[in-house]
Amino acid sequence: MIISKAMKLVCVTTSMVMAVSGVAFAADAGQATDTAVNIRSEASAQADVVGKIEKGSEYTVVGKSGDWYQISYEGDKAFVSGDYFELTKTDAVATESGVNVRKTPSASGQAVGKLQEGEGVVVTGQSGDWYRISFQGETAYVHKDYISGEMITKVTAIAAVSAENAGQEIENTYGVVTAATGVKLRKEASLISVVLEVLPYGTEVSIDRVGQEWIRIVTDGGVKGYVSAEFLSVRKGERTTRSNASSKGAEVVSYAKQFIGTPYAWGGTDLNRGVDCSGFVYSVMRNFGITLNRSSSSMASNGVEVLKSNLQAGDLVFFNVGGNSRISHVGIYMGDGNYIHSTDGAAYGVTVTSLSSSYSANTYVTARRVLR
């Protein structure tokens, strides 16, 4: 017996049921398509603005009301217009048994498995008549005639990565690195080719040519090479780049340095009178139109992950200095191996610390990029 998605949700939790038209969702998530997108208290352009979100930060979608998405924002529910928000993943189920799952969005693509009727999958994009899904930890495709989902038609459009496009130049597309640990950029389309650099998760790149197994890209630094098609999401439209990232990051650092010496104050967000670690970062970034989650642990879900070896000025660095949470401290990377933060330790207040210090090296957890 196939249990509907809505019924499954009722069995799991009642907290996500909404009093708006539509239904509640499980794995649905999305992101803003522009910078500083308004988040409102109701599904209306006249409703109060309760915050702003940046492109590249993923938010859980808990429902839809007309042209508005309801998302989970800082522990509460809020609304964002569908004109500035795209669904990047959603739940779906196979409508028949023996549905072919293919490596590329083509009827001639290699079959990598089958779905049985009612079997659930997560859809991460659509390309023509095909939906891209996550299948056994890999990226694969299913024809639209054999899969169904309440939000499936709203998922973001992607450029086709198929045999038909192999070796062809692709216009008006860009790529986003989807591998959590980053992807290797190689000189040639081969696993034994020289690695030019490692591109962090969330990095956006220009697409030069697309093939079934490899995609030739050009980085913002002008480096041309090949990445595995498995770990790069090819998307349509113009992209938001960080071509001015270094200058913007420098601006953030310059602004933050004004407050060196401001005393530590638990829960504080006043940059002149007193701030805690997350209050300092939250207030500095707010000056640049970037709204972050308030606590250090929840702030670690903002932006995209960055490898420690690829840190740039303005990136957020996170630490575990004790307590029940995996993340309990945050600062802003300045460049040259240093970061600025507010601490209640020996230095007390807003200060600059080296990432290579024993304190930092032993407690470092991760980093996130929120400047786009």
φ, ψ dihedrals at 22, nearest 5°: 105, -160
Same domain, 35 and 75: yes
pLDDT tens by residue, 117-172? 999 999 988 887 899 888 887 788 999 999 999 888 888 876 554 444 444 446 66
CA distance 59 to 80: 11
What CATH number should be reported for the domain holding residue 90?
A: 2.30.30.40
Tell whether 271 is covered by a domain.
yes
CA distance 292 to 207: 30
pLDDT at position 75: 79
Tell whether 124 is covered by a domain.
yes
Report the number of distinct structural domains present in the chain.
3
Tell whether 157 is covered by a domain.
no
- The whole domain housing 217 covers 163-236
Q: What is the pLDDT along the chain (372 residues), one digit of tens a residue?
A: 343 433 333 333 333 333 333 333 446 888 887 778 899 999 998 999 998 888 767 888 988 888 899 998 887 899 999 888 888 889 999 999 999 999 888 887 889 999 999 999 999 888 878 998 888 877 889 999 999 998 888 888 765 544 444 444 466 678 888 776 778 898 887 777 788 888 887 788 888 888 777 888 988 777 888 898 888 888 876 655 444 445 688 899 999 999 999 999 999 999 999 999 999 999 999 998 888 988 998 898 887 778 888 888 999 999 998 867 789 999 999 999 999 999 998 788 999 999 999 999 999 999 988 876
φ, ψ dihedrals at 153, nearest 5°: -75, -10
Cβ distance 231 to 205 under 8 Å? no
| Boundary-marking domain end, from 236, 258, 274 | 236
Same domain, 129 and 147: yes
Both tokens of residue 259? 């407050």
Tell whether 211 is covered by a domain.
yes
